[in-house]
Structure formats: C-alpha cells, structure tokens
Amino acid sequence: MPRDPYDILGVPRSATPEQIREAHRKLAKKFHPDLNKTAEAGAKFKEIQEAYDLLSDAQKRKQFDQFGHAGPSMGGAPGGAQGGWGNVDASTFEEIFGDFMGGGARRAGGRRGGARAGEDLESRITVDFMTAALGGVRHVSLESNGQPISLDVRIPPGIESGGDLRLRGKGGEGMGGGPAGDLVLHISVAPHPWFRREGLDVVVEVPISIAECALGTSVEVPLLEGTATLRVPAGTASGKRLRLKGKGVAAKGETGDLYAVIRVEAPKSLNDEDRAALERMKSTEPDPRADAPWNAKR
C-alpha cells in the first residue's frame, strides 16, 4: 500500500502550501540522485516527488484528504525516472545545485529562472520593561552578509519575552527583481527594578509597617505611568494582593490590572516604650496559629 504523502514529506495534515513547498525543497536537496549517491536515493527522491505532486495540487490534495489513495492516483512524477526532476520548482533547483556547484548555479539560476525573494534574517534584541509594556521605538543595529543594517523598530505595547516581530521587506535583498526577505526579531524583555508582568497584569510589592498593618493606612504606589493612592485596610496580612483595576498593560483592546502585594516590615530596632507596647499587644492578642492545620493543640 502506498505511503501517506504527508508522512513522506514529514508535514501535518494542516500544513500550509508554503510548509509543503519548504519540506519538499529540503528533501529534494537531500535525496536527489545527482547529489546523493546512496543506493536508495533514486527511489526515495521519486517517492518525495510523487508526494509533492499530489499535495501541491489543491484538487488532488482535497480528494486524497477525503478518500485517501482511492481518490487521486499517486502516479509517477513527470520525468519520473531516477535522476529526473519531476515538478521541482526553479528555486529548489537553484538551492540544490547552488550548494552542489559552490553557488554558481544559484546565481545563474537567479538570472535565468526569474525573480527570487531574498532570505529572511533573524536577530535577538532585548527591550526594556517599560517600552515592552507601553510600546515605543527601539533602535536596532545588526549585520547581513557583512553589511550593517540600522533601523528604528516600533515595539507594540504589551509584547512579552519570547514574542517575535516580523518586519516585512527588511531582510536579505531579492534576486532577479524579487522582493526582499523579512527581518524577524526575537524579543527578550529586561527585568524591571520593582514591576513584574503576569500577562497584562502588573505586580509591585508595597512594604508597610506593623503599625500600618494593624491600624490601616493609605500609601502612594507607582503605576506604569504616574502614581495612585492605595487604601490598605486595617489587619491586612503580609502577602495580600490589593487590586487597582485597569492600571496594568493595555494591548489589543484589553487592559490588565495592577496588583499591590503587601509586605509587612518588622522594625529593625525598638525603644523601650515601643517594645513595651508590643509586649502588651502580644499578651492580649489571640494566638495567630491556633487554627493552623499542623497545630497539635487544635
């Protein structure tokens, strides 16, 4: 029984035409018998060609997806004798023989075979926390084929570490009048001294004293832009998260919140009067561990 053409090309059934072309290009380059002298290369190349001929034809692919091999005939690839090119496109021809002949055929093919898009370039950049959260412009300098590239990149608000930016037409130059490739920037976001991100939410720690914790207080907390007054209720425990709605990151029509995480700070030194006051409080307050699940006195 013939093998599944998706398995032959190593692509999922949801693969786009571009993914199918790219998989075919790589396999054709690896197994063409003019380049690969192993005994199985010819048969493997023919199988790859047949799979590509089927999946690159929208109607044949649709029939195969519905009916399997009972739909379209896998047939023989045009020119299907071992060593024949079948339906290999011009760019695949250039790529294979460009490497095989030291790049000469690639350049000649670019002149004879029509336009070819430039290669995509990739680079990693680090963006400061506030620019990533609020958006802004970042200057980028890199090299392509020994040539410096310098440009200003607009960073969209809300981008996170691990995100990518694709800049159309900012990659390698095309050949034979073809379009330039793209520049893909892989983003890392630098940490901030006091803010951290949780999606579109922003978190900041807010220290308060024991007295403020017991009595309640109002404190000024930093926002991404400006400050806000936060009311801390009496008895707020350390680690409690108090929300300032809509004060987080705004991106793609959504806005996160800012969470102030309360951190109760014990005094580093006490005078006699303060110590006595705290001793009185300690003697009258209930045991805070009375209801702890591990307390043997329960």
Distance CA(165)–CA(70), nearest Å, equals 43
Q: What is the pLDDT of residue 141?
A: 82
| pLDDT higher than threshold 80 for residue 103 | no
pLDDT in tens, 174-227: 888 889 888 899 999 999 999 999 999 999 999 999 999 999 999 999 999 999
Q: Is the pTM of this model over 0.75?
A: no
**Domain check: are 180 and 276 in the same one?**
no
| CATH code of the domain in which 181 resides | 2.60.260.20
Please give the pLDDT value at position 256: 95
Query: What mean pLDDT do residues 85-110 have?
Result: 47
Residue 274 lies in domain:
195-284
**88 and 18 co-located in one domain:** yes
Q: What's the pLDDT tens digit per position in 19-44?
A: 998 898 888 888 887 778 888 888 88
Q: Which residue has the higher pLDDT, 205 or 169?
A: 205
Q: Which of 134, 166, 189 marks a domain boundary?
A: 189
Which token pair is 236? 């707020």
The pLDDT tens digits for 245-274 are 999 999 989 999 999 999 999 888 888 998
Whether residue 186 contacts residue 173, with contact meaning beta carbons closer than 8 Å, is answered with no
pLDDT at position 1: 64
Judge if 182 and 148 occupy the same domain: yes
Is residue 92 included in any domain, yes or no? yes
Asked if the model's pLDDT at residue 95 lies above 60, the reply is no
Q: Are residues 151 and 204 in the same domain?
A: no
- % of the chain beyond a pLDDT of 90: 38
